[in-house]
Structure 1
Amino acid sequence: MESSKGFFDGVPSQTSFIFGIITGIAVVLMVSYLFGLPGTSATSRTNARVAENEAALVEAPAAELTPPPSAPVGPLPVIAKDDHVRGNASAKVAIIEYSDFECPFCSRFHPTMQQLLQEYPNDVRWVYRHFPLSFHPNALPAAVASECINELGGNDAFWAFADNVFGNQGGVGTALYEKIAQDQGIGLEAFRSCVGSGKYTQEIAQELAAGQAAGVTGTPGSFLVDANGQTQLISGAVPYAQVKAAVDAAL
């Protein structure tokens, strides 16, 4: 009976030794590639995936996670005269929304707030504050554009900007902002000068920092404030019924 020969049968021992070393190195490289040792490209790819996952969690739809309302973790800035307010300025309940013009879940939540004001025209006021997320490249430029629209066209023009941007989120960019400005009767030269000055960038950054200090970790992050000043944080694009229930409990 003829026995089958192994691969190394007949190979000189020195050659076998060298071949073994090469094979070992190849195995180490393969493990590094698959599992990512420190300093390897696989680690970089893993870190990138973690960042993507964190970004996804920041914007996870509340309809799926539905976190219960909670108290703010830090002081919430009081509503000031330079805030963007929609609805009855003397309403018993205020909802202060920290939002991002490029956030898809903010776009989903926008009609919820519009519906709320329609149902509670005298009892609810809606306050918009900026919270542009760093991984949304159009969020900060849109926030700056909205402030220039507000400066040149007033509070109603600001809310027209918000409605248009959230209603046309796939087209965010300079062309859309300038069209909104023109529709609001604002001259393009003045609008472009305001945007180019960058004078609102620091103010927007301060709003974001204040939101973070109060407990906002993603967008939309909204605070319901009742007539007694009691405050609760509502995270995410929660369904209309959930917001309505919170308002009814606060009235």
Structure 2
Amino acid sequence: MKKLILALGGFAVSGCVSSENQIREAIKKNPDIVFEAIEENPVRFIESVNRAAQKAQQAQYEQHASEMKKGQERDLKNPKQPKLSEERRLIGDDKAPIVLVEYVDFQCPACKMASESLKEFKQKHKNDIQVYYKNMPLDFHPMAFPAALYFEAIRRQDKVKALKFYEHVFAHQRQLKDEAFLKKAAAQVGAHPGKLAADVKSAAVKKTVAEDMAEFQAFGFNGTPTMILNGIALSGVQPVEKLEEIVELTRKK
């Protein structure tokens, strides 16, 4: 550190702006003085980097929390209204007061975590919830789109089997590497192989997935998992306590 101070000491006399410019120029001309200072104080350097990283993470978290809160306040006044139908509902009936719509990518690790955290919430409200699963396969997950097609094709056969497929794929997500896995998963939940093979390639199934993706984008969402709970959008993996909070907020409205 002494080398850095000596190298830059001659520039500490002028005003702040000119001094900073002079220091930048000195470092540009001889960047080794910075590396030498780091080598002389490696522990201090690592500590400084870690503190900076922690501050950046905290700032990002606070910004995300602030944006989410503002979004929830907007949604409370003007609830989001995704397209829902009897055909797409996998759990519950249309009289249930809690309406949960999930947008998922079958290869998304966070979606797997969300599916696990939502189990408790769904079980607790099994008599007063209706659940819809919609597809948002991200383009950097090569098997997400094929998995979405299989899910929709199975749903057309049987909702219970589709739900089992959903749970099976997330439970074995690391094995989702090729279509052979999807075929095996479909067979394990009891899907009819002939009808499945035809529906996976059908224009109707592809249209359903495309419409889900278009709806997701129309709402301005940009990542999975995302859900809409009683008209209020939530992104990321949410604790049960947060979901209960949203339910209470919407009940009081």
Is 1:94 matched with 2:99?
A: yes
Identity of aligned residues (%): 26
What's 1:233 paired with? 233
Say which of 158, 170, 175 aligns to 1:171: 175
Kindly tell me: are residues 247 and 127 of structure 1, through their superposed partners in 2, closer, same or farther at Cα, counting changes over 3 Å?
Answer: same
* 1:74 Cα offset (Å): 9.3
Say which of 152, 158, 163 aligns to 1:159: 163
* 1:65 Cα offset (Å): 5.1
* 1:76 Cα offset (Å): 2.9
* 1:170 Cα offset (Å): 0.6
- 3-state DSSP of counterpart to 1:200: helix
Say which of 203, 215, 220 aligns to 1:215: 220
* 1:124 Cα offset (Å): 2.1
Count of aligned pairs between the two proteins: 184
What's 2:119 paired with? 114
After superposition, give the CA deviation of every residue in 1:149-205 in whole Å (9 maximum; x if it has no partner): 1122x1111111110011111111322322232223333233223223454122211
- Aligned AA (2:237): A
Q: Please say which structure displays the higher CA radius of gyration.
A: 1
Which protein, 1 or 2, shows the higher relative CO under an 8 Å CA cutoff with sep ≥ 6?
A: 1
Unaligned runs of 5+ in 1: 1-61, 226-230
- Aligned AA (1:82): E
Q: Distance in 2 between matches of 1:87 and 1:107?
A: 22
- Aligned AA (1:180): A
- Aligned AA (1:112): S
* 1:223 Cα offset (Å): 0.9
* 1:101 Cα offset (Å): 0.9
Unaligned runs of 5+ in 2: 1-60
Contact 1:88-1:121 at 8 Å conserved across structures: no
- Aligned AA (2:95): S
Kindly tell me: are residues 119 and 88 of structure 1, through their superposed partners in 2, closer, same or farther at Cα, counting changes over 3 Å?
Answer: farther
- 3-state DSSP of counterpart to 1:132: coil
* 1:241 Cα offset (Å): 1.8
After superposition, give the CA deviation of every residue in 1:62-108 in whole Å (9 maximum; x if it has no partner): 8x955435245996333212213323442111011111111111110
What's 2:199 paired with? 194
Q: Distance in 2 between matches of 1:124 and 1:185?
A: 26
Say which of 120, 123, 130 aligns to 2:135: 130
Give the CA RMSD over aligned residues: 2.5
Q: Distance in 2 between matches of 1:243 and 1:155?
A: 24
After superposition, give the CA deviation of every residue in 1:45-65 in whole Å (9 maximum; x if it has no partner): xxxxxxxxxxxxxxxxx8x95
What's 2:89 paired with? 84
Relative to its length, the structure with more helix (as a share) is: 2
| Stretches (4+) displaced over 6 A | none
- With the length of structure 2 as denominator, give the TM-score of the two structures: 0.65
- With the length of structure 1 as denominator, give the TM-score of the two structures: 0.65
Contact 1:149-1:158 at 8 Å conserved across structures: yes
